[in-house]
Amino acid sequence: GFYSMTCYLHNMAMGQNQSEESYDGPGIKLRLLSWNIDGLDGKDVRQRTESVIQLIQSRRPHIIFLQEVIPPTLSQIRNKLGSNYSIHISPKISFQYFPIILVTKKCPKITIDGEVGMFDFPGSTMGRQLLQLFIKICGVPFALYTSHLESMKDYSRERKEQLRSCFEFVTEQTSLFNRVCILGGDLNIRDNEVAEVGMPPSVVDIWETCGSVEEHKYTWDISNNDNLFWRFPNKPQLRFDRLYLSPGRGEYVKPLSFELVGKERISGCNRFPSDHWGLWTE
């Protein structure tokens, strides 16, 4: 969770039987999920999306970033999750797949703080954009950002430009408006590209902050996830999906754990919910 330390002590003391939604101490233990749910793979898409929805229903994240949502899966998500989550999408969809942000309606400490914003990446040939949503958590202003950056090795230059833009939004919100920023999604990014763009000093990579655990490193892992028909002998393992935090002056905002989810096969089709694992942080 992103905790205030006072909240941490209160949580330790509050006992297991009291739900955190009704707990009125000074902080919150925040749960966040980011996942590319692979709407572009038409095979078993309804069943796979149902499996994503079930994971959300059982783990109850407060904030969710999803990429590669398509109109039919958006309908599924609205039907099953619309009563518990506000669902925020770009007012202008230029491609048949897009990112969305969901925020719980069930926690009074989390409130929406304005309309969703959308910024097109001018150099994108794949309709890629950055989605922005302002919220308040325990009265502290947050800016949430999710995106699905330009895909494929050959588009490295454009992808780096897009990441640079993302970091500019984050640093501006943190420095000018003192918002805590969370940026995440399927960034299709490689380590050398991050190094070339340069991470702003205010920004941390949540996987790294939580100990760079090898077991939770590769979010697109062909050697362990066989959803894609892969005809080549090498089975790449890549950390395409990332979660970044810019805590600003909210020094009490601290990621405590990071793991990959969605690693159980669906019994009916014997496939995973997506070709990406989901990213879970508290």
pLDDT tens-digit readout, 121-135: 999 999 999 999 999
Question: Would you mind telling me the total number of residues written for the chain in this entry?
Answer: 282
186 a catalytic residue: yes
Residue 274 · residue 268 · CB < 8 Å: no
Percent of the chain with pLDDT over 70: 90
Contacts 24+ apart (CB under 8 A), 129-134: 129/90, 129/94, 129/98, 129/99, 130/162, 130/165, 130/166, 130/169, 131/88, 131/89, 131/90, 131/99, 131/100, 131/101, 132/169, 133/88, 133/101, 133/103, 134/179
Summarised one tens digit per residue, pLDDT across range 198-214 is: 999 999 999 999 999 99
Any residues with CB less than 8 A from the CB of 152 and at least 6 apart, and which?
A: 188
- Assign 93 a pLDDT band (cuts: 50, 70, 90): confident
The overall longest dimension of the chain from CA atoms, in Å, is 55
Side-chain-facing half-sphere of 87: CA atoms under 13 Å: 17
Please check the confidence at residue 154 and state whether its pLDDT lies above 90.
yes
Across 55-72, average pLDDT:
97
Range 49-76 average pLDDT: 98
Structure confidence by residue, pLDDT tens digits, 12-22: 333 333 444 44
Q: Distance between CA 138 and CA 12 in Å, rounded?
A: 18
DSSP 280: E
Annotated active-site residue in 38, 44, 186, 221 = 186
Is the per-residue pLDDT at 241 higher than 90?
Answer: yes
d(CA 45, CA 112): 30
pTM higher than 0.85, yes or no?
yes
How far, in Å, are 19, 49, 149 from residue 72 at the CA level?
A: 34, 10, 22
Looking at the predicted structure, is the pLDDT value of residue 6 above 70?
Answer: no
Contact 123, 160 (CB under 8 A): no
